[in-house]
Protein backbone atom coordinates (compact mmCIF):
# COMPACT_ATOMS: atom_id res chain seq x y z
CA UNK A 1 0.00 0.00 0.00
CA UNK A 2 1.19 3.44 -0.73
CA UNK A 3 0.49 6.33 1.54
CA UNK A 4 -0.51 9.36 -0.55
CA UNK A 5 0.92 11.60 2.18
CA UNK A 6 4.34 9.97 1.77
CA UNK A 7 6.36 12.18 -0.54
CA UNK A 8 9.11 10.36 -2.38
CA UNK A 9 10.74 12.25 -5.22
CA UNK A 10 10.45 10.88 -8.73
CA UNK A 11 13.75 9.31 -9.75
CA UNK A 12 15.67 11.36 -12.31
CA UNK A 13 18.18 8.64 -13.23
CA UNK A 14 17.98 4.84 -13.54
CA UNK A 15 16.79 2.60 -12.12
CA UNK A 16 13.27 3.87 -12.70
CA UNK A 17 11.10 1.75 -10.41
CA UNK A 18 7.44 1.87 -9.44
CA UNK A 19 5.40 -0.19 -7.01
CA UNK A 20 2.02 -1.59 -8.07
CA UNK A 21 -0.20 -2.34 -5.07
CA UNK A 22 -3.56 -4.03 -4.50
CA UNK A 23 -2.99 -6.58 -7.26
CA UNK A 24 -5.20 -9.65 -7.66
CA UNK A 25 -3.61 -12.82 -6.37
CA UNK A 26 -2.03 -14.65 -7.99
CA UNK A 27 -0.83 -12.35 -10.76
CA UNK A 28 1.72 -13.01 -13.51
CA UNK A 29 4.51 -10.89 -14.96
CA UNK A 30 2.77 -11.05 -18.34
CA UNK A 31 -0.43 -9.64 -16.83
CA UNK A 32 1.51 -6.73 -15.31
CA UNK A 33 3.38 -5.96 -18.54
CA UNK A 34 0.21 -6.20 -20.65
CA UNK A 35 -1.69 -3.90 -18.28
CA UNK A 36 1.01 -1.24 -18.21
CA UNK A 37 1.96 -1.34 -21.88
CA UNK A 38 -1.57 -1.43 -23.33
CA UNK A 39 -2.82 1.41 -21.14
CA UNK A 40 -6.26 -0.21 -21.05
CA UNK A 41 -7.16 0.50 -17.48
CA UNK A 42 -10.83 1.34 -17.67
CA UNK A 43 -12.77 4.27 -19.07
CA UNK A 44 -11.67 6.62 -16.29
CA UNK A 45 -7.96 5.97 -16.73
CA UNK A 46 -6.54 6.07 -20.24
CA UNK A 47 -3.01 7.18 -19.39
CA UNK A 48 -0.23 6.59 -21.95
CA UNK A 49 1.46 3.18 -22.18
CA UNK A 50 4.35 2.44 -19.82
CA UNK A 51 7.42 0.67 -21.24
CA UNK A 52 8.43 -2.13 -18.86
CA UNK A 53 11.97 -3.48 -18.49
CA UNK A 54 11.52 -5.88 -15.55
CA UNK A 55 8.83 -7.11 -13.15
CA UNK A 56 9.55 -8.46 -9.66
CA UNK A 57 6.69 -10.47 -8.14
CA UNK A 58 7.31 -11.20 -4.46
CA UNK A 59 5.94 -14.48 -3.14
CA UNK A 60 5.44 -15.79 -6.69
CA UNK A 61 2.72 -13.26 -7.46
CA UNK A 62 0.68 -13.77 -4.30
CA UNK A 63 1.96 -10.80 -2.26
CA UNK A 64 -0.55 -8.34 -3.73
CA UNK A 65 2.14 -6.06 -5.16
CA UNK A 66 4.89 -5.90 -7.76
CA UNK A 67 8.01 -3.80 -8.23
CA UNK A 68 8.35 -2.76 -11.86
CA UNK A 69 11.42 -1.30 -13.51
CA UNK A 70 10.38 0.98 -16.36
CA UNK A 71 12.38 2.46 -19.20
CA UNK A 72 12.37 6.19 -18.47
CA UNK A 73 11.45 9.08 -16.21
CA UNK A 74 8.39 9.68 -18.38
CA UNK A 75 7.33 6.05 -17.86
CA UNK A 76 7.48 6.58 -14.09
CA UNK A 77 5.17 9.58 -14.45
CA UNK A 78 2.82 7.65 -16.75
CA UNK A 79 2.73 4.73 -14.33
CA UNK A 80 1.95 6.89 -11.30
CA UNK A 81 -0.81 8.58 -13.32
CA UNK A 82 -2.35 5.14 -13.96
CA UNK A 83 -3.33 4.86 -10.27
CA UNK A 84 -6.96 3.84 -9.77
CA UNK A 85 -7.02 1.82 -12.97
CA UNK A 86 -8.66 -1.60 -12.71
CA UNK A 87 -6.85 -4.92 -13.04
CA UNK A 88 -9.37 -7.71 -12.86
CA UNK A 89 -11.62 -6.88 -9.93
CA UNK A 90 -9.05 -4.69 -8.17
CA UNK A 91 -8.31 -0.96 -8.17
CA UNK A 92 -4.54 -0.65 -8.60
CA UNK A 93 -2.41 1.89 -6.75
CA UNK A 94 0.93 2.87 -8.29
CA UNK A 95 3.70 4.88 -6.65
CA UNK A 96 7.42 5.42 -6.77
CA UNK A 97 9.05 2.27 -5.40
CA UNK A 98 9.89 2.73 -1.74
CA UNK A 99 6.56 4.33 -0.82
CA UNK A 100 4.71 1.02 -0.50
CA UNK A 101 3.70 -0.32 2.92
CA UNK A 102 4.11 -4.04 3.57
CA UNK A 103 2.72 -6.30 6.28
CA UNK A 104 5.00 -8.22 8.64
CA UNK A 105 4.86 -11.21 6.28
CA UNK A 106 5.91 -9.11 3.26
CA UNK A 107 2.56 -8.63 1.55
CA UNK A 108 0.97 -5.45 0.28
CA UNK A 109 -0.88 -3.88 3.22
CA UNK A 110 -3.55 -2.42 0.92
CA UNK A 111 -4.27 -5.80 -0.69
CA UNK A 112 -4.43 -7.48 2.74
CA UNK A 113 -6.88 -4.82 3.94
CA UNK A 114 -9.08 -5.25 0.84
CA UNK A 115 -8.95 -9.06 1.12
CA UNK A 116 -10.10 -8.82 4.74
CA UNK A 117 -13.41 -7.42 3.49
CA UNK A 118 -12.85 -3.97 4.99
CA UNK A 119 -11.72 -2.15 1.85
CA UNK A 120 -12.73 -1.25 -1.66
CA UNK A 121 -12.06 -3.36 -4.72
Q: What is the CATH number of the domain that holds 33?
A: 3.30.70.330
Q: Is residue 66 part of a domain?
A: yes
Q: Is residue 10 part of a domain?
A: no
Give me the domain span that covers residue 97.
16-113
Contacts of 39 (CB under 8 A, 6+ apart): 46, 47, 48, 49, 50, 82
- Element (DSSP H or E) covering residue 46: none
pLDDT of residue 47: 72
pLDDT of residue 110: 66
Q: Is residue 77 part of a domain?
A: yes
Contact yes or no for 70/20 (Cβ under 8 A): no
% of the chain residues with pLDDT over 70:
78
Q: Is residue 2 part of a domain?
A: no
Tell me how many domains the chain contains: 1
Contact yes or no for 23/65 (Cβ under 8 A): yes
pLDDT band, residue 68 (cuts 50/70/90): very high
Amino acid sequence: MSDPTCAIALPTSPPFRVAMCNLPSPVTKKTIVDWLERAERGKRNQSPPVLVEQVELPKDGTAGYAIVTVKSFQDVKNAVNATYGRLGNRVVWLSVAGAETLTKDGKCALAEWVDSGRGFY
